[in-house]
A and B are shown apart, each in its own frame.
Chain A
Amino acid sequence: AQTVTQSQPEMSVQEAETVTLSCTYDTSESDYYLFWYKQPPSRQMILVIRQEAYKQQNATENRFSVNFQKAAKSFSLKISDSQLGDAAMYFCAYRTPDFNSGNTPLVFGKGTRLSVIA
């Protein structure tokens, strides 16, 4: 079974600084997708960034970027120029491709609570 591990239960960062959240995963598949989700206190799930395993280039979305190391099965999230609104729970997630009807579920890590200090 696939597993996703986030080894940092809590992290903090000064406003405007950079922080990196770690994620490792275990899979025997060669084709899969990886995601980072943000869950603010409202508990909505917000997609931050995604990465297809077959793409070597690291995904980037504005201040958010990933360091995807396929051989090491590592998928870290870097947040640059941290803002107060970045404070939230961050979940790393994994899934395999759909084969039928969009029926492969997301598997989540335990999450990292990020605090941003003004």
Chain B
Amino acid sequence: GAVVSQHPSRVICKSGTSVKIECRSLDFQATTMFWYRQFPKQSLMLMATSNEGSKATYEQGVEKDKFLINHASLTLSTLTVTSAHPEDSSFYICSARKRQETGGYLQPQHFGDGTRLSIL
């Protein structure tokens, strides 16, 4: 079963609206979650790294005031696209994994099923 749940799977809204996407780790505590953006037929581009209890780390070129990330608990991170415009339309994917123990089992990266955001 899915270990990372992402909601909603599909959002269609008007320009100027703010949209919140939730990402939950279901059976493990994720001190760090990752947010990716994927344009059609392109790769996953890391937007930001979400750290529980602290500010997110944004990649170069990603507007932190446009893409608000909150990681208030060990199992929930949210991405809010503020005042969304058509150019924000994209596929957003969250991801998380357990901390890798030194010399231990290589922890798998779990992905949410993604959110398709369409801004009209």
**A residues adjacent to B (C-beta < 8 A):** 33, 35, 42-45, 47, 50, 52, 91, 97-98, 100-103, 105-111, 113
Contact = CB atoms under 8 A, between A and B. Distances in A.
Interface on chain A toward B: helix, strand, loop, or mixed SS? Answer: loop
A108 B41 CA distance: 14
B113 A52 contact: no
A91 B51 CA distance: 25
Given A102-B99, A103-B49, A106-B34, A47 B109 contact: yes
18 contacts: A33-B106, A35-B109, A43-B38, A43-B113, A43-B114, A44-B111, A45-B95, A47-B108, A100-B99, A101-B31, A102-B30, A102-B100, A103-B49, A106-B46, A106-B109, A107-B46, A108-B43, A108-B44
A98 B34 contact: no
A52 B106 CA distance: 8
A23 B93 CA distance: 23
Contacts of A106: 34, 44, 46, 95, 109
B98 interface: yes
A45 B111 contact: yes
Contacts of B111: 44-45
B97 A102 contact: yes
B78 interface: no
A102 B44 CA distance: 19
Interface of B: 30-32, 34, 38, 41-46, 49, 51, 91, 93, 95-100, 106-109, 111, 113-114
Contact of A97 (B100, B108, B113): B100
Given A47-B108, A102-B96, A91 B91 contact: no
B46 A105 contact: yes
A91 B32 contact: no
A33 B109 CA distance: 12
A74 B74 CA distance: 36
Contacts of B38: 43
A105 to B, nearest CB: 5
Contact of A91 (B44, B99, B113): B44
Given A50-B106, A102-B96, A110-B42, 16 more contacts: A43-B38, A43-B113, A47-B108, A91-B43, A97-B100, A98-B100, A101-B31, A101-B51, A101-B99, A102-B97, A102-B100, A102-B107, A105-B49, A109-B43, A111-B42, A113-B41
